[in-house]
């Protein structure tokens, strides 16, 4: 627990009226009128016109450890997460070895604790080795010290409907959720980008929207049939939004995420042949971008999740066809949400707190503190907080990010908003916009 005292001077919780917020002993110790809180023995953070949010929670992060520490480690990825305003991340299971046993998820959990930047919640694989053949030991992972509640073969689709049905049934026992990477493999063999006008023109094999939509349609019906909870990863097409909207109207227990990149980038970028824009699911059309924004605004899409997918230079700086799928996202997510949803008037800051903190925490069944459960910041709560300067503008420099990999699709792009400070249980993990080097625990 932190012994440091901080006064956040004139911060605006959820974009509301300014107050001073005092953090002491790991909790919010006092909330006063602006300019009033006693700063003796405290570190003052000048926060006038800064928005105070609950610490962000990412339901979909690739940390690459164990196995690909050359692309990212738990320490480097969680440091990048803190820089992006996160206080918790769910670490995807497609590591090497795969996180398909209690041993591996506990290893990732402990590495997260040691690093101390954010709370790391390991995701467990649905099938052994992500091979799609037999169920992994879901119960053992749920009962482990890592308390796994989210299960996913992300990177691969659980395409066998019988296995998917069994997984959905199984996770009910511990209130878990299956997070599906919706991609019908037979419809996407050799696929390199979205199937459409652009793929035809540039001559790359297309990944049709129906390959995503067919799996989502099947899975919502399976979830209804067995009465379980389903989560759809990185939904990217207008048709997917429609299916989820229909499923929710029927009372099916489904939640869905959209990535920041699918909120703004389109398949037109494939014309550059720059593999920075190669991702799974692929960047879609402008009509799809509009549909996912609308879905996020009307609550059909529950959350924004980064799908932070770091890759080494070797795996990305090559021709499009040979490059790995994926882009980094932890350090730009909040800015992209501000640009596409807040600055356009489609979401308020309290909506942002919902889609980037309270809703992902609820879906992942993690205790991120009452503030992160959607309540306004209040005295006595664990101080998991993010302070944002929405008026700042920054140019993204792929070589100067905190993540160990440089594969951002926003290199050289100006984005609004900057994370000024992040606090994990009252300890500053980020101050003045930079990670705090020393990690004291
Ligand atoms: N999104 C990606 O393009 N890649 C992810 C896997 C995934 O999320 O499907 C990865 O692990 O690199
Ligand atoms: Zn995926
Ligand atoms: Zn992913």
Q: Name the residue with the closest Cα to ligand 1, atom 2.
A: 326
Quickly count: other Cβ atoms within 10 Å of residue 400's Cβ.
7
ipTM: 0.99
User: Which one of the listed residues 119, 153, 267, 307 is annotated catalytic?
Assistant: 307
Q: Output the pLDDT for position 2.
A: 61
| Residue 94 near ligand 1, beta carbon < 6 Å | yes
| CATH of 6-52+377-392+413-435 given 3.40.720.10, 3.40.630.30, 2.40.30.20, 2.30.40.10 | 2.30.40.10
Residues with Cβ within 8 Å of residue 16, at least 6 apart in sequence: 376
Q: Please write the tens of the pLDDT for every residue from 85-98.
A: 999 999 999 999 99
**Percentage of residues in the chain having pLDDT higher than 70:** 98
**More confidently predicted of 188 and 441:** 188
pTM, full prediction:
0.97
Report pLDDT digits (tens) over 364-387: 999 877 666 777 788 999 999 999
Which tokens is 353 given?
């707190």
User: For ligand 1, what atom is nearest to the CA of residue 324?
Assistant: 12
CB neighbours (10 Å) of residue 214?
17
**Please, which residues have CB less than 5 A from ligand 2, an ion?**
154, 181
Q: Which helix (H) or strand (E) holds 408?
A: none
CA of 60 to the centre of ligand 3 (A): 6
pLDDT at 376: 72
Q: Which pLDDT band holds residue 1 (cuts at 50, 70, 90)?
A: low
**What's the pLDDT at 370?**
67
Cβ–ligand 1 contact at 326 (below 6 Å)? yes
| pLDDT at 441 exceeding the cut of 80 | no
CATH superfamily, with its number, for domain 55-373: Metal-dependent hydrolases (3.20.20.140)
pLDDT, the chain, mean: 96
d(CA 155, CA 161): 17
Residue 280 annotated as binding? yes
All structural domains of the chain with their residue ranges: 6-52+377-392+413-435, 55-373
Give the span between the Cα atoms of 324 and 423, in whole angstroms: 34
């Amino acid at each position: 627990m932190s012994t440091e005292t901080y006064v956040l001077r004139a911060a605006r919780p959820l974009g509301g009226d300014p107050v001073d917020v005092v953090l002491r002993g790991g909790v919010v110790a006092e909330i006063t009128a602006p300019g009033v809180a006693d700063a003796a023995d405290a570190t003052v953070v000048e926060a006038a016109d800064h928005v105070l949010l609950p610490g962000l929670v990412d339901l979909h992060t690739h940390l690459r450890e164990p196995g690909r520490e050359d692309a990212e480690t738990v320490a480097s990825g969680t440091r990048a997460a803190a820089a992006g305003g996160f206080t918790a991340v769910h670490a995807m299971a497609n590591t090497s070895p795969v996180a398909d046993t209690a041993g591996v998820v506990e290893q990732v959990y402990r590495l997260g604790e040691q690093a101390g930047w954010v709370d790391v919640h390991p995701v467990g694989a649905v099938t052994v080795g992500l091979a799609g053949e037999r169920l992994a030991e879901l119960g053992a992972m749920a009962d482990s010290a890592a308390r796994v509640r989210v299960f996913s073969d992300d990177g691969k689709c659980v395409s066998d409907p019988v296995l998917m049905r069994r997984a959905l049934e199984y996770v009910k026992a511990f209130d878990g959720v299956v997070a599906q990477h919706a991609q019908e493999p037979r419809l996407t063999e050799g696929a390199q980008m979205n199937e459409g006008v652009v793929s035809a023109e540039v001559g790359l094999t297309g990944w049709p929207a129906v390959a995503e939509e067919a799996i989502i349609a099947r899975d919502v019906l399976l979830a209804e049939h067995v009465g379980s909870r389903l989560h759809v990863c990185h939904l990217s097409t207008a048709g997917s939004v429609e299916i989820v909207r229909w499923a929710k109207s029927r009372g099916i227990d489904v939640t869905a995420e959209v990535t920041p990149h699918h909120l703004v980038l389109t398949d037109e970028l494939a014309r550059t042949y720059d593999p920075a824009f190669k991702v799974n699911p692929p960047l879609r059309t402008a009509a799809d971008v509009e549909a996912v924004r609308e879905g996020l605004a009307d609550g059909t899409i529950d959350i924004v999740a980064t799908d932070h997918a770091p890759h080494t230079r070797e795996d990305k700086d090559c021709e499009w066809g040979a490059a790995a799928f994926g882009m980094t996202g932890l350090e730009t997510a909040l800015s992209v949400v501000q640009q596409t949803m807040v600055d356009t008037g489609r979401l308020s800051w309290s909506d942002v707190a919902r889609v980037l903190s309270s809703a992902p925490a609820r879906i992942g069944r993690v205790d991120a503190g009452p503030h992160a459960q959607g309540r306004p910041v209040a005295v006595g709560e664990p101080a998991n907080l993010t302070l944002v300067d929405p008026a700042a503008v920054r140019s993204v420099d792929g070589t100067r990010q905190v993540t160990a990999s440089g594969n951002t699709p926003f290199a050289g792009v100006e984005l609004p908003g900057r994370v000024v400070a992040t606090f994990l249980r009252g300890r500053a993990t980020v101050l003045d916009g930079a990670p705090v080097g020393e990690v004291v625990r």
